[in-house]
């Protein structure tokens, strides 16, 4: 498979499997300027899939850098109103949305005032976007755009071809029929979720070096995976790749300590050796060998940021794990192994919570916060058990292999 064919197949995956673009839909693509080669291939494939129109909204972080360096403070983090209006229009215009990720330069804000960098994080358009996700108004997906800059982060030297190879492995592009491979994979994940949901576990327990953490589930917690469905009934795959089955835990119930097993990239900062202790659901202590300040910033978002919003299970068959790489990109790294997230919960994972907001969710046991930060806690040395209401422990993962029958 040559590079052009690989890019073409990758675009097919984004458009036909990921966002599941339907004939006649407008398509919005959100990309960094550096992502242009992938954005163009995706745009082209969207038209081939019958898109009525395709608009790529390019974002330039060097312009943001200039705003941090020279712009007035009160304007930092404000997105141009026309871009916000565009995102807000997606539900009404039935626009499919494809976001490209993959950091071409984690050093882009080097040397700038950290407070001003923080202020420049645009929350305004994200709020609008999150409301589409919460109301399931839009078919969407996030896929990565390999760049030479990102390859430098992953390998310590520029090697775009090698990064493409790894992304191809992680996204099953290396399979003879990637679309068929994805259909099989999604079916397998759905069987795992069904198996977990049958057991109606009361809690999930992680044990390993530096880790002994028990996370309480809600009676209504349901494990989901892979595909979402819009309220109009259109299935789409919000993350390519995806390897996780995940749910929203009871935010009151987390006890013990956990050691992160992967570096965690938050914006341009890498957090190493994160260790966190929970009491009564709350993070009461966090340490790290580097980057702790960004974790603390996230934990300070609001009162509920210190409580869990997600627990996700991934075993060693993960195609991301098979690459053996740390991508320093959450889209990939969270799919390499089990992870948890502090901050906002996932209402669609809890019976009776879908469509609810804020305090209503908290009353139902689903966390609600402006933060949502995933970090990786699984691996071959970490055992995962499901605990029944009567206290019985059932093996879910051992030696990085899934144990629970569907």
DSSP assignment, residue 339?
E
Of the candidate residues 1, 3, 66, 406, the single one contacting its own copies (CB under 8 A): 66
Provide the CA 63 distance to its chain's centre, in angstroms.
26
Residue 113 as a binder of its own copies (CB under 8 A): the answer is: no
48 binds its own copies (CB under 8 A): yes
Binding segment toward its own copies, per CB under 8 A, in 80-88, 145-153, 339-347, 371-379: 80-88
Contacts of residue 246, Cβ cutoff 8 Å, sequence gap at least 6: 223, 224, 225, 310, 311, 312, 313, 346, 349
CB burial of residue 89 (10 Å; 0-12, 13-18, 19+): middle
Residue 78 engages its own copies in binding (rule: CB under 8 A): yes
CA distance 307 to 313: 18
Spatial CA neighbour of 377 closest among 335, 322, 326, 339: 339
Of the ranges 13-21, 33-41, 128-136, 137-145, which one interacts with its own copies (CB under 8 A)?
33-41
How many residues belong to the chain? 406
Choose the binding region for its own copies from 83-91, 181-189, 296-304, 389-397 (rule: CB under 8 A).
Answer: 83-91
Taking the complex as a whole, the smallest distance from the CB of residue 351 to its own copies amounts, in Å, to 37
Q: Does 47 bind its own copies (CB under 8 A)?
A: yes
Please identify, using beta-carbon distances, which residue of 39 and 396 lies nearer to its own copies. 39
CB closer to its own copies out of 40 and 200 = 40
Per rule CB under 8 A, is residue 56 in the interface with its own copies?
A: yes
- In this complex, which beta carbon is closest to its own copies, that of residue 34 or of residue 385? 34
Long-range own/partner contacts, residues 171-178 (CB < 8 A, 24 or more apart): 171/10, 171/13, 171/143, 171/240, 171/241, 171/319, 172/241, 172/319, 173/6, 173/9, 173/10, 173/13, 178/9, 178/12, 178/13
* Closest distance to its own copies from the beta carbon of 125 (Å): 12
Query: Per rule CB under 8 A, is residue 116 in the interface with its own copies?
Result: no
Please give the span between the terminal C-alpha atoms of the chain, in angstroms, as a whole number. Answer: 36
Pick from 99, 94, 77: nearest CA to 132: 94
Q: Binding of its own copies at residue 43 (CB under 8 A)?
A: yes
Which helix (H) or strand (E) segment is 116 a member of? helix 114-119
CB 327 within 8 A of CB 270: no
Task: Indicate whether 164 belongs to the interface with its own copies (CB under 8 A).
Answer: no
Using rule CB under 8 A, residue 227 touches its own copies: no
44 touches its own copies (CB under 8 A):
yes
Residue 360 DSSP code:
H
Instruction: Check binding of 40 to its own copies (CB under 8 A).
Output: yes
The sign of the CA dihedral 43, 46, 52, 56 is negative
CA-to-CA distance for 375 and 265, rounded, in angstroms?
Answer: 9
Please report whether residue 119 would count as binding its own copies according to CB under 8 A: no
Q: Is residue 72 part of the contact set for its own copies (CB under 8 A)?
A: yes
Q: Minimal distance in Å, beta carbon 78 to its own copies? A: 7
Contact region for its own copies (CB under 8 A) — 53-61, 203-211, 287-295, 328-336? 53-61
Binding flag, residue 63, its own copies (CB under 8 A): yes
Contacting residue, 1, 3, 5, 62, with its own copies by CB under 8 A: 62
Q: Which residues bind its own copies (CB under 8 A)?
A: 33, 36, 39-40, 43-44, 46-48, 51-56, 58, 60, 62-63, 65-67, 69-72, 75, 78, 80-83, 85-86, 89
């Amino acid at each position: 498979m040559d590079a052009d064919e690989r890019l073409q197949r990758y675009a097919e995956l984004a458009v036909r499997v990921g966002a599941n673009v339907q004939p006649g839909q407008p398509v919005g693509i959100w990309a960094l300027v550096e992502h242009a080669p992938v954005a163009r291939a995706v745009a082209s494939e969207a038209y081939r899939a019958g898109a009525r129109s395709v608009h790529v909204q390019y974002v330039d972080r060097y312009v943001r850098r200039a705003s941090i360096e020279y712009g007035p403070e009160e304007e930092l983090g404000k997105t141009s109103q026309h871009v916000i209006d565009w995102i807000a229009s997606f539900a009404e215009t039935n626009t499919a949305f494809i976001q490209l990720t993959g950091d071409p330069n984690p050093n882009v804000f080097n040397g700038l005032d950290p407070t001003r960098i923080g202020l420049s994080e645009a929350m305004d358009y994200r709020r609008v976007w999150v409301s589409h996700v919460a109301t399931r108004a839009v078919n969407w997906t996030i896929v990565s755009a390999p760049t030479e800059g990102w390859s430098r982060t992953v390998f310590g030297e520029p090697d775009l071809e090698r990064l493409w190879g790894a992304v191809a492995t992680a996204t099953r592009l290396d399979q003879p029929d990637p679309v068929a491979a994805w259909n099989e994979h999604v079916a397998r994940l759905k069987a795992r979720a069904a198996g977990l949901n049958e057991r109606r576990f009361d809690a999930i327990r992680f044990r390993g070096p530096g880790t002994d953490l028990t996370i309480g589930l809600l009676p209504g917690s349901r494990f989901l995976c892979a595909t979402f469905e819009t309220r109009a009934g259109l299935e789409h795959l919000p993350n390519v790749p995806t390897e996780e089955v995940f749910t929203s835990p009871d935010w009151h119930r987390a006890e013990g300590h956990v050691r992160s097993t992967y570096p965690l990239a938050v914006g341009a900062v890498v957090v190493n050796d994160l260790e966190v202790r929970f009491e009564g659901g709350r993070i009461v202590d966090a340490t790290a060998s580097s980057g702790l300040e960004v974790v603390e910033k996230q934990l300070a978002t609001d009162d509920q940021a210190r409580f869990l919003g997600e627990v996700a299970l991934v075993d060693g068959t993960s195609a991301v794990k098979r690459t053996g790489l740390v991508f320093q990109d959450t889209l990939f790294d969270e799919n390499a192994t089990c992870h948890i997230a502090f901050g906002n919960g996932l209402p669609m994972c809890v019976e009776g919570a879908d469509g609810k907001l804020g305090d209503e969710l908290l009353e139902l046991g689903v966390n609600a916060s402006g933060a949502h930060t995933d970090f990786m806690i699984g691996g071959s040395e970490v055992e995962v058990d499901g605990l029944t209401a009567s206290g019985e422990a059932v093996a879910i993962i051992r030696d990085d292999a899934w144990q629970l029958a569907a």
